[in-house]
Structure 1
Amino acid sequence: MPSPAWSAQKHPWLAAFTLMAVVAAILGALLADPARTDGWRMLHWLCKPLATMLILRLAWSARPALSRRYRQWISAGIACSLLGDVLLMLPQDLFVPGLVAFLCGHLCFLAAFLADSRFAVRPLWLLASWGCGAVNLWLLWDSIGAALRLPVIVYVAVLSSMGGQALARAGMFARRGDAQAGSARRAAIGAMLFMLSDSLLAWNRFHAAIPWSSLWVLSTYYLALWWIARSVQRDDTLVEAGAAQ
């Protein structure tokens, strides 16, 4: 029985539109006039959530999924990210609501990763992720306003827990030679890219402006969502094993 292709291969137009939306969102952010709402700003406002919506569609259409529960939690996490996109791109200061939206997204991703592995299944990976988050927070501490310190601490704790669990889960499946190892590895890549994107965003917001920050933050962000969405798809070996039973 031939193995089903991944959703992007089944629907190449969806992957192509996603790439175009990502490029347009980044160009709009880079070229927009910071002093006014011009055409480039409108392009960014349109394409930033559109790209996330298309990635959500890719995750939801993946067949066969690793599990229904896994797909639901990953899709919920991407949907929360979509809400965070909208809140953070608007001209109002909605940083805390946007932070909460992404916090909920990371909790959803964490719930997905816990669907088939216990928390801290390989504790060294989790400790390493917590350590990276703590060092990053310590380096930025003096630049973070007092009112934002508690929300940022909670966010970093959840983000680093999500990243650490993704790494621990990938390590567990790889060590066992499990058929789910490929999916877990894709999820771990996405989680690490999410941590990188959020670190770049934090340094740009709290410490000093990073040249071409929109390029680095958005490219790593969309790559993170892309890899996490791809983790919904079961690997060929897992599909073939199921078909043989």
Structure 2
Amino acid sequence: MDARKEGLPRNARFSAQQPSLVSLTPFFLACATYFLLWDPEGPPSWVGALVKCLPVLTLAGFLQSSSGGARTAALQVALLFSALGDVCLIWPQAFLWGVLAFTQAQLLYIWVFGIRPLRLGLLLPILLVSLLFFGVLLPHLPPDMVLPLTAYGLALNTMLWRGLARGGRACWGATLFAISDALLAWNTFIQPLAHGRLLVMATYYAAQVFITLSAFQGRRLKTN
């Protein structure tokens, strides 16, 4: 397969072997467990943290079926940082540590997606939308969170640019990740949304599975 058809950098070392759809079963079961057991009124707990990060951990394990080399390994590490961020966000006092973990994950996603094709024309709409949203968000942020969230926003927008430029599953994953974070920011700092946590986590888990599947170059997953 020509890497250019998938928007992949020529030197990307992803696996062309398609995993079976059945191999994603642990991820779907973990997601179902989270949505069934999640109690929005319950106190933070390590059990809740484990249930929340388990879907992302199963995706890191899922990538063991890939022989994609350094980029796939980096994607696994990014998923582990995401899982760490999930745990930190359970406790309000660890929020900034969660932001730091997710920032590291975004930087790894950027490296995994690569710099080619460049597609600089994507930057302007991303910049305009992000500045508009941040302008609405800024008055609601505590002063000590402005700089960390600005840094995270830059990493997120760069990841979105590279995901859109690469196309395919990376495009879907990057877009859903940005939507999930926008919903989380609105729900946390501006105004609670109806079914806010459900919307945030559904788009977040969908984003992570699309980003994970971007490690496989083929267009379809096997059904068995």
TM-score (norm 1): 0.77
1:234 paired residue number: 217
1:176 paired residue number: none
1:48 aligns to 2:52 (yes or no):
yes
Q: Which amino acid aligns with 2:87?
A: V
Question: In percent, how many aligned pairs have the same letter?
Answer: 25
1:168 paired residue number: 165
1:182 paired residue number: none
Per-residue CA deviations over 1:188-232 (Å, capped at 9, x if unaligned) read 110000000000000011001112112101110010000000011
Query: What is the aligned counterpart of 1:28 among 34, 37, 40?
Result: 37
1:111 paired residue number: 111
1:203 aligns to 2:186 (yes or no):
yes
Contact 1:49 1:86 in 2 (8 A): yes
Unmatched segments (≥5 aa) in structure 1 = 171-184, 238-245
Distance 2:27 2:54 in 1: 8
Question: What pairs up with 1:126-205 in 2 under 5 angstroms?
Answer: 126-170=123-167, 185-205=168-188
Distance 1:199 1:236 in 2: 29
Q: CA deviation at 1:44?
A: 3.5
Distance 1:26 1:70 in 2: 31
Unmatched segments (≥5 aa) in structure 2 = 1-15
Distance 1:53 1:189 in 2: 20
Deviates more, 1:16-25 or 1:217-226: 16-25
Contact 1:125 1:165 in 2 (8 A): no
1:19 paired residue number: 28
Per-residue CA deviations over 1:4-47 (Å, capped at 9, x if unaligned) read 762243xx2x4222112112212333x3434x46xxx7764332
Check 1:209–1:236 CA distance in 2 against 1; reply closer, same or farther (3 A cut).
Answer: closer
Q: Which amino acid aligns with 1:117?
A: R
Distance 2:130 2:70 in 1: 28
Higher relative contact order (CA 8 A, sep 6+): 2
Contact 2:49 2:86 in 1 (8 A): no
Q: Which amino acid aligns with 2:33?
A: A
Distance 2:92 2:141 in 1: 19
Q: Which amino acid aligns with 1:25?
A: Y
Contact 2:50 2:87 in 1 (8 A): no
1:96 paired residue number: 96
Per-residue CA deviations over 1:86-123 (Å, capped at 9, x if unaligned) read 1112x351110000000000000001112x616xx111
Contact 1:55 1:226 in 2 (8 A): yes
Check 1:7–1:158 CA distance in 2 against 1; reply closer, same or farther (3 A cut).
Answer: same
| Alignment length (residue pairs) | 206
Contact 2:107 2:159 in 1 (8 A): yes
Distance 2:20 2:99 in 1: 30
Q: Which amino acid aligns with 1:21?
A: A
Distance 2:127 2:80 in 1: 25
Distance 2:36 2:192 in 1: 18
Q: CA deviation at 1:62?
A: 2.7
Contact 1:198 1:217 in 2 (8 A): yes
Q: CA deviation at 1:73?
A: 2.0
Q: CA deviation at 1:49?
A: 1.5
